[in-house]
Amino acid sequence: ETWRYAFEEALDEVQGKFAQKFKAEVEANSDNEVQLFPFGTLGESVDIMEQAQSGILQFVDQSPGFTGALIPEAQVFFVPYLLPQDQDQLFSFFRNSKAVKELFPPLYAEQGLELLTMFPEGEVMMTTTEPVRAPADLNEVKFRVMTNPLIVESYQAFGATPTPLPWGQVYGALQTGMIQGQENPAFFIESTKMYEVTDYITRPGHNNFTTAVMANKDFYDALSDEDKQVVQNAIAVAFDYILEYQDGLTEESLAKIREAKPAMTITTLTEEERAPFRETAAAVEQKYLEIGGAQAQAILDQMKADLQAASESAQA
Ligand code: 6CS
């Protein structure tokens, strides 16, 4: 059989690397073939999600940044400073999280999706046309965010004017001055040449980009036990691979950006400068509990327990 798998990035970006590994594993261990559809071939992120829900696609990678509009609980990934900056803790969280492995799957299932995995893609950084050292610097800055209500709340709390847009419009919107900033991991800022249309990269340390891979649920449920195992094994191999792939990726990507544009200013905010951004977290978390759906409290509590466990295991 041929399985169609769409994702939100190019083949050589993180989601594409994951998909290529998944394809190689499936094809090496079964008679199935995986056809890959990178960003742009089938539309925007919301389009590929619809196609996966309706069964036109068997697999899709969509980030909670977009899924949060469909599954409100998924917006938890936009509570600032919730995920750890320490890579060992972060990876341990994604490896072991009960929220990810047990609480989220039924919520995705309600939307016709079998949640297969969630993984991090890298520290989120702001790229802007003007320097950002404090929330006041974001005043009047139209800042592009992914399309979910909680990230809008979060950037409002940061002092910006959040502007939700699909990815395909971001470069043009920066070029024409419709927006003056956006956030993404360094590899993506580099590969999509965001440095051509912005001059400052700021690292507030407020988040790590999370994404999720799922299958159409009817398709998955109808698979033989053997094929289900092939899928699960391929996901597990691709998961290990993608964490390893990201080792050093942020610094390599920043080096490439500096090389392509020596005038780019890259600033890591100090703890003191981060403090006012960090102070917004409690209010955004409260907002999550209001708009994050029926399971918001349960998800948040479990996430916190999982993060605590990850921090203890990384110290051990
Ligand atoms: O900002 C976005 O919309 C995109 N960013 C990444 C890192 N992946 C896909 C997503 O569409």
> With a 6 A CB cut-off, is 246 part of the ligand 1 pocket?
no
* CA–CA separation, 116 and 59 (whole Å): 10
For a substitution probing ligand 1, which of 63, 165, 187 has the most ligand atoms within 8 Å of its CB?
A: 63
Instruction: For 33-53, write each residue's pLDDT tens digit.
Output: 999 999 999 999 999 999 999
Interface pTM (ipTM) of the complex?
A: 0.99
* Share above pLDDT 90 across residues of the chain, in percent, rounded to a whole number: 99
DSSP assignments along 1-59, one per residue? -EEEEE-SS-TTSHHHHHHHHHHHHHHHHSS-EEEEE-TTSS-SHHHHHHHHHHTS-SE
Q: Residues 219-232: pLDDT tens digits?
A: 999 999 999 999 99
Say how many CA atoms lie within 13 Å of 30 toward its Cβ: 22
Please give the average per-residue pLDDT across 103-114, as a whole number: 98
pLDDT at 16: 99
CA of 9 from ligand 1 middle (Å) equals 7
* pLDDT above 90 for 315: no
Average pLDDT, the chain: 98
β-strands 59-62, 208-216: how paired? antiparallel
Which domains, and CATH codes, for the chain? 2-315 (3.40.190.170)
Number of Cβ within 10 Å of residue 222's Cβ equals 10
State the pTM of this model: 0.98
What is the 120 CA–ligand 1 centroid distance (Å)? 12
- The pLDDT value recorded for residue 227 is 98
Q: Which atom of ligand 1 is nearest to the CA of 122?
A: 7
For the chain, give the percent of residues with pLDDT over 70. Answer: 100
